[in-house]
Structure 1
Amino acid sequence: MASPEVQKIVDDLIRTKKVMVFSKSYCPFCTKAKNALAPYNIPADDYYVWEIEHEPQMAEIQTYLKQLTGASSVPRVFINGKFIGGGDDTAQLHKSGQLAQLLQ
């Protein structure tokens, strides 16, 4: 179970960032999601990638992400507060043109 503090941090990031990516720097699926988002020139204030592997509360973060999205694996990608999926999902949305629509 994630602490209320961790839940608040995660919820605030999802709510305040247009694009929020929970990631691990060494994860190939995370790289796939970040590469799919890269061409869109999202303003830095609107886009945050949290590399959670060095966070002391990493397990709690992933536990809470599982509550929110049904899976604890990363990446977990949110656009405008809505969960859009992981690495393959984000790449597929980019390929289909739907990612551009979501980012407008």
Structure 2
Amino acid sequence: MGKDITMGEQEALATIKNDVENNKVFLFMKGTPESPQCGFSAQVVQVLKNYGVPYGSRNVLDDWDIREGIKKFANWPTIPQLYVKGKFVGGCDIVSEMHRKGQLAEVLKDL
């Protein structure tokens, strides 16, 4: 049984890495952009809408290994998690603060 968990975790981390590397902007969230399943995810979706940038997303509620793996991938305990150009930007509080200060516009420019 331990091997299955490890294999699932390895596959999840490979999927996460692929999502981050192959999308200029990617959001790991609870739910979908059209139907967020938590207030924090909804808040980040709303912030991204302000910029009109295309982004990929993955619903962490669909896969336990992804949900746990993303926490290890960024060494960040909460979801949502936003990545831009392959780098971890932050969760809801950080993204909201960067938006408020105008810093997120800098991060999202030249996409």
Q: Give me the TM-score of the superposition, normalised by structure 1.
A: 0.84
Distance 1:36 1:82, change over 3 A: same
Q: Does 1:35 align with 2:41?
A: no
Greater radius of gyration (CA): 2
Aligned position for 1:5: 11
TM-score for the superposition, normalised by structure 2: 0.79
Unaligned runs of 5+ in 2: 1-5, 31-35
Q: Is the 8 A contact 1:6 1:61 kept in 2?
A: yes
**Alignment partners' CA distance in 1, 2:64 and 2:23:** 22
Letter in 1 for 2:79: V
Show CA shifts across 1:15-74 (max 9, x none): 01111111112110111111111111113xxx1121222x2xx22112221212223421
Q: Is residue 51 from structure 1 mapped to residue 59 from structure 2 by the alignment?
A: yes
Paired residue total: 98
Matched residues, percent identical? 27
